[in-house]
Structure 1
Amino acid sequence: MKATLPPHPFYLSTAEQSQQMDRATIEQFGIDGFTLMEVAGSSAAKRLLDELPANAHGLYLCGKGNNAGDALVVARYLIQHGHAATLLFISGTEGLSDDTEQNLALLRKIAEHDSTAAPVTIINGWPQFKKSGLAELDFIVDGMLGTGLNSELRGDYAKAVAWANEVDRPIYSIDIPTGLHANTGQIMGTAIQASTTYTFGSQKLGFYLEDGYSCTGEIVLCELPFPNYLKTCNNFLLDRSWVNEPEYPPAKHKYDAGVLYLIAGSEGLTGAAILSARSAWAAGVGAVIIICPRGILPVFEHTLPQIIKKPVGTPDDTSLSIEQLDSVIHIIDEKPGNVLFGPGIGRAPSTLQFSTAFFEQFTGRLLIDADGLWCLGQQQNWQKPDQASWILTPHPGELAKLSSSSFDDGGERLETVREISSTKNITVVSKGFPSVIGTPSGKCLLTRYDTRVFARAGFGDVLAGKIGAYWSLGNPPAKSAALGLLHGYEKTKLSNKKNRFLEPNDLI
């Protein structure tokens, strides 16, 4: 996992981690909170200045905490560039945090002494807000509540959020949209639907879970002077900018470029094996070798001329059984390689018996997918052999079965992935929205895009083939999974441009 750790801008922090980094920078490193607020607000203001038309009028929705202080810094910079500010303190100006109170005083000082600055209007409480004159309003800055929200929005804050969402004006959220839970991505009753979120120090985990996608709009990270050694994180955002496929040296022989064994196929379910084999072959692996029941060999001979086939059993066998286990192990022992187990093997009792025995005996590198995961899930307290290295690629239902647990939201699914990958010492690719890669170290990678397509029939087979191929080419397990997901996303974007319904072959 160490080789796949991203740069700090791709850290995904919980509310507690964000607050700890802030506190440690103040108490241990020696940069005070007021300075951090100045850096945060000025960074957002500089970016916002590039977005606004000349002489725009902004409404700043402010609470009492430091989130409002950040918004006031933004307002102070913007009024000096000709953008008028109306400051609406939802619950009044009494009891503001110290740094917010100080920034309000600075803003008033600018308004009083700088005749060239745009006008500032202060409204003391939501009930005093007259919702007229909206023709003069060009944008809204959301500085009501930050990452500490843990209960549903109520009262005037809920009213302000509902009103802002109905107004046809761009909304710029400060650090996090008000009403969005920073850890789980859940909407706490109601939440701001931001056009852009200017987030500070690190991105928040909740941006990429549950409803986070629908609330944040464009996410712009504004760096803070947190020293790197004080940054703690166990969730990271998957991105092509730091996950690059290496250049593989030319192979002297096909087996030098990686070997992927594909234990797959049964009567009526050969399509899954075909898709996985084609996907792995297209990724550049040196050899793909299908191990299949002899009775379905003609299907693969006809559809996969470039793939090596190793049938087992008799011409009457159309599914794998325990009687074929020794033959399968012998084939794999002939040439070192990774194994992709499961696409289309079926769920016959004899196949379940074969699968259970194979999982117990095989001590190499094994990727388990599809029906293979179903077979694994039938075992109670399943464990991989100590010497083995495993990648599992479950959809949410398979993950629940494998972990003997249930989860109601993306945050719970993430923690389930983290627990199962760390306690079982395996890599888990949890398909969904987002997809999550769990590693033995307990660190997880999340996609920034919708990968639910991989949970549809056929698409998961393509993904498994890609991951298996990248692993066989020498990449670590987590990076192999990352490369597979990124490849699928990029192929999806290209296919969507053609404006037609996606098919599994589009992602190969």
Structure 2
Amino acid sequence: MLLVTSAEMQTLDELMIKKMGVPSAALMESIGLRVAQVIIDLLDGMGVHEQMGERSNATAVSSHVKRIAVVVGKGHNGADGLVAARYLHAFGYQVRVWLAAPEDELAPMTRLQFEAYLKLQGQLAAEQDDLADVDVIVDAILGNGSKLPLREPIKPLLRAIRKAERTVVAIDLPTGLDADTGQIDADCVQAAITVTCGFAKPGLYMDPGRNFVGRIVVASLALPREQAEAHGAHHYLITPDLAASRYRKRPTDSHKGTFGRVGILAGSKGMYGAARLAVEAAYRAGAGLVYYFAPTDLSAAWLTAFPVEAIIKRYPGRAGEWTKEAIDALVALFREVTTGVIGPGLGMNLRENVELLFTLANLPVTLVLDADFLSVLASLRDRGQSWFARRSFPTVITPHPKEFARLLDVSVEQVQANRLGYAKEFAVASNVVVVLKGAGTVIATPQPRIWINQTGNSGLATGGTGDVLAGMIAGLVASGYDVQDAAIVGVYVHGLAAQLACQKEQSEESLLASDLFRWLGTAFRQISRAMDISLDG
């Protein structure tokens, strides 16, 4: 599903008004009517709005006439709210308008809608009226383009809305929520329904904002998605349909060579569990063969913990001791595979020999880089940019926020406050696919294209789940996916497996990374649309 940022939506508004000749008032009429329809269905039952044209404004659907407060700001969001108020008043609801700004400060279009509402004998809130006495509050205060933090003049009104504890329908986005980042003001409105204008906004699906929007309804402005994309829109929500559209069915005449080979360089003393998870994940995601590159000093006893399907390839040396002989041997081993994973549990010793580290940049395979290897790159003087500049094959990085903060030389708080922006900036500058893990995992590509994932739960906030994801993405690439689709399908299925595990067997507290393997098959079947969903994993 296409999402648009605040700036992109303003561009699209101008496109419709100035180039397509759609009057601004017509757009407001469309949005206001859709808001009214949503509120009618909320109050009197789904589908009731379809009958509204057949009844007079004196006829109530139920014996109790529902009371609606429309809280109006001075801008175009307020104008949309006034259109909704006019329709609701005409359909027999008891409507009162609260102005969040003096009448003489209303924008010209908002004033026109205000006057139209009054000409139909629409009522304004009296001094004694209380927001707690209504059935629904419409938040039409601030919409697209508003900035945080909010200014004090409207904050008392927002606190009154919260104190009223009524059902809130927000227009475009709840007042106090940033459309692009999902960040919120301390007094952000808590909506039960958000009727967003034209296209949904990224902030509606990002933490912490997604906890304030309730059910999302898109009020279409009849602008085709292709037009929006042609004018710069490039953010997407990974929906079940989108994930299914990127899924590749395996040909019936295939063999293990069809689905490629993954080579995994991971693990160190005390951390070989990370390598074992990545190996199994690559297989579970469809790789034909998975090689684990092990130092010669790694005992056979350790290797018995690996899946029996794993192919062990030795390189000379001791774990964590990186010599030219070891790196040269690894380069030769990586030439045998189609995709490589470097990093899970690997340790930080590679940073001690920069020349050998840069040798790995020239590997002629797609690489998925995770965990310790990203921290090694972040320790370089230029935070790894010269290393990425040497890459001539596709590269995917899968950092968690702290690892990504190191690569950017910013704080974790800064990353979390602008996950989309930082992921996009790094993907473009470094020519890599960024998979920024966390609630609402973000995928960014160099084109740029940005996706927000919605599957997963807090059970994934445990050791090893990132190693599983890295292995899955590598397995998908090896089996024939391009890196973009491998990231989309991998992230979606990884999160869906966590949801399935917690619905059927585990809880979010008890989930382990290895529990995901039982549910990856069911998750893949759900998006394949070709096999019945069963519960046997």
Whether the 8 Å CA contact 1:265–1:293 is kept in 2: the answer is no
Matched, 1:219 2:222: no
Match of 1:467 among 469, 473, 480: 473
Whether the 8 Å CA contact 1:434–1:448 is kept in 2: the answer is yes
Whether the 8 Å CA contact 1:363–1:389 is kept in 2: the answer is no
Whether the 8 Å CA contact 2:140–2:170 is kept in 1: the answer is yes
Matched, 1:309 2:319: no
Matched, 1:506 2:505: no
Aligned to 2:276: 274
Query: Match for 2:233: what amino acid?
Result: C
Task: Give the TM-score of the pair, scaled to structure 1.
Answer: 0.88
2:173 and 2:119 mapped to 1: Cα distance? 28
1:259-310 Cα offsets, whole Å, 9 max, x none, are 1111122221110011111111112211111111122252223432111111
Whether the 8 Å CA contact 1:297–1:311 is kept in 2: the answer is no
Aligned to 1:59: 69
Aligned to 1:288: 290
Structure 2 matches for 1:412-431, cutoff 5 A?
412-431=418-437
- Rate the CA distance shift 1:354–1:461 in 2: closer, same or farther, 3 A: farther
Structure 2 matches for 1:143-182, cutoff 5 A?
143-182=140-179
Matched, 1:370 2:371: yes
Matched, 1:486 2:492: yes
Q: Secondary structure at the match of 2:187?
A: coil
Aligned to 2:387: 383
Whether the 8 Å CA contact 1:171–1:196 is kept in 2: the answer is yes
Match of 2:79 among 69, 72, 78: 69
2:499 and 2:305 mapped to 1: Cα distance? 31
Aligned to 1:4: none
Whether the 8 Å CA contact 1:463–1:488 is kept in 2: the answer is yes
- Rate the CA distance shift 1:68–1:437 in 2: closer, same or farther, 3 A: same
Shift of 1:320: 5.3
- Rate the CA distance shift 1:108–1:413 in 2: closer, same or farther, 3 A: closer
Query: Match for 1:31: what amino acid?
Result: V
Select between 396-405 and 36-45 the one with higher mean Cα deviation: 396-405
Aligned to 1:106: 116
Shift of 1:91: 2.5
Query: Match for 2:494: what amino acid?
Result: G
Whether the 8 Å CA contact 1:394–1:431 is kept in 2: the answer is yes
Query: Match for 2:76: what amino acid?
Result: N
Whether the 8 Å CA contact 1:71–1:141 is kept in 2: the answer is yes
Shift of 1:503: 0.9
Q: Secondary structure at the match of 1:181?
A: coil
Structure 2 matches for 1:378-457, cutoff 5 A?
378-381=379-382, 382-384=386-388, 385-406=390-411, 408-448=414-454, 454=460, 456-457=462-463
Aligned to 1:32: 23
Q: Secondary structure at the match of 1:265?
A: coil
- Rate the CA distance shift 1:166–1:12 in 2: closer, same or farther, 3 A: same
1:74-116 Cα offsets, whole Å, 9 max, x none, are 22222343322111112243343333333333334444xxxxx
Query: Match for 2:421: what amino acid?
Result: E
Aligned to 2:529: none
Q: Secondary structure at the match of 1:487?
A: helix
2:13 and 2:342 mapped to 1: Cα distance? 46
Matched, 1:348 2:361: no
What is the identity percentage for the equivalent residue pairs of Structure 1 and Structure 2? 27
Shift of 1:453: 5.5
Aligned to 2:35: 44
Q: Secondary structure at the match of 2:420?
A: helix
Select between 335-344 and 347-356 the one with higher mean Cα deviation: 347-356
- Rate the CA distance shift 1:252–1:213 in 2: closer, same or farther, 3 A: closer
Aligned to 2:99: 89
Whether the 8 Å CA contact 1:395–1:455 is kept in 2: the answer is no
Whether the 8 Å CA contact 1:432–1:452 is kept in 2: the answer is no
Whether the 8 Å CA contact 2:401–2:415 is kept in 1: the answer is no
Q: What are the ranges of 5 or more consecutive residues in structure 1 without an aligned counterpart?
A: 1-9, 112-119
- Rate the CA distance shift 1:197–1:171 in 2: closer, same or farther, 3 A: same
1:386-409 Cα offsets, whole Å, 9 max, x none, are 422211111122112223344625
Select between 146-155 and 367-376 the one with higher mean Cα deviation: 146-155
Matched, 1:229 2:227: yes
Query: Match for 1:373: what amino acid?
Result: L
Whether the 8 Å CA contact 1:320–1:354 is kept in 2: the answer is no
Alpha-carbon RMSD: 2.5
Shift of 1:173: 0.4
Whether the 8 Å CA contact 2:276–2:305 is kept in 1: the answer is no
Query: Match for 1:506: what amino acid?
Result: D
2:182 and 2:351 mapped to 1: Cα distance? 44
1:251 and 1:340 mapped to 2: Cα distance? 28
Shift of 1:349: 5.3
Shift of 1:487: 0.9
Select between 409-418 and 337-346 the one with higher mean Cα deviation: 409-418
1:287 and 1:24 mapped to 2: Cα distance? 51
Whether the 8 Å CA contact 1:434–1:452 is kept in 2: the answer is no
1:313 and 1:216 mapped to 2: Cα distance? 56
Query: Match for 1:131: what amino acid?
Result: D
What is the total number of aligned residue pairs between the two structures? 483
Shift of 1:441: 1.4
- Rate the CA distance shift 1:253–1:351 in 2: closer, same or farther, 3 A: farther
1:340-378 Cα offsets, whole Å, 9 max, x none, are 112222223588669604423312211111222122223
1:450 and 1:98 mapped to 2: Cα distance? 45
Shift of 1:413: 3.7
1:32-90 Cα offsets, whole Å, 9 max, x none, are 10000011111222222221134321111112221111112222222343322111112
- Rate the CA distance shift 1:457–1:142 in 2: closer, same or farther, 3 A: same
Shift of 1:151: 4.8
Shift of 1:192: 0.7
Query: Match for 2:408: what amino acid?
Result: S
Aligned to 1:321: 322
Query: Match for 1:303: what amino acid?
Result: F
1:163-221 Cα offsets, whole Å, 9 max, x none, are 11122211000111112222333323521111111000112232234431232122211
Moved over 6 A (4+): none
Q: Secondary structure at the match of 2:242?
A: coil
Q: What are the ranges of 5 or more consecutive residues in structure 2 without an aligned counterpart?
A: 45-61, 518-537
2:307 and 2:494 mapped to 1: Cα distance? 22
Matched, 1:242 2:250: no
Select between 213-222 and 22-31 the one with higher mean Cα deviation: 213-222
Query: Match for 1:229: what amino acid?
Result: Q
2:363 and 2:16 mapped to 1: Cα distance? 49
- Rate the CA distance shift 1:440–1:71 in 2: closer, same or farther, 3 A: same
2:201 and 2:490 mapped to 1: Cα distance? 25
